[in-house]
Amino acid sequence: MSYFVTGTDTNVGKTLISCALLHGFADKGKRVVGMKPVAAGCMADEIHDDVKQLRAASNVLASYGQVNPYCFAPAAAPHLAAQFAGVSINLERIVESFSELAAQADEVIVEGAGGLLVPLNAAQDSSDLMRELGLPVILVVGVRLGCLNHALLTVEAIAARGLTLAGWVANVVDADMAMLDQNIAALEQRINAPLLGVVPFQLQPDALDVAKLLNLHLLEPIKPHD
């Protein structure tokens, strides 16, 4: 089973959790590879830092073109960065790259850009890509003031678009978050999907360590009865 990782916002730890998922599944003996369909804010070497991290956490060596079909220099919303580059993001190209990766690995972890409804082109957003790929969603909640509204709106939008929320991760991004446990408990009561783990605030988080905090058995599909 492969998964699409989205977040309640940008800078909430999607890459960290995606890499942790890769490490976690690899530790279970799986062939794993990460994918970042669209990256904006690429450095001079044209390789986005998120892509480098995903590739380093994978045990299947795939080409940069497969892992990251679209990479743009401006640190802007994907559709705007694409417009600046004079191209249009084609979901079919992304699906083709995903299929190539899926043929090589047991688990493909696809990290989205920004949040659920970030536009990718003039007519489609990230939720359309999730639907095209046919992947269940893992939601990374950046735990900070305002996260309850952001998380619950995202969960509602996932359901409204017929997507499957496989689980969510509480990633604490505010070291001084007030009533932390109570906020996470409020989300647990309202999100009808398993909490895969709580990641405490860390100045320099390590995906290998974070992998140990995730309960991946909650993602394992139920085997059909014989």
Please list the ranges in the chain whose pLDDT falls under 70: 44-45, 220-226
Answer whether residue 81 is part of any domain: yes
| Number of domains observed in the structure of the chain | 1
In a domain, 15, yes or no: yes
Neighbours of 75 (CB within 10 A): 11
Find the domain containing 9 and state its range.
3-218
Helix residue ranges, H only, the chain: 14-27, 49-57, 64-67, 78-85, 91-102, 126-133, 147-160, 180-190, 207-211
- CATH code, domain with 210: 3.40.50.300
For 66-81, write each residue's pLDDT tens digit: 999 999 988 899 999 9
- 3 state SS of 197: strand
Q: Which of 166, 222, 174 is nearest to 195 (CA)?
A: 166
- pLDDT at residue number 222: 42
Distances (CA, A) of 46 to 41, 51, 54, 55: 9, 10, 15, 15
Distance separating alpha carbons of residues 189 and 117, to the nearest angstrom: 24
The amino acid sitting at 177 is M
Annotated active-site positions, please? 36
Inside any domain, residue 224? no
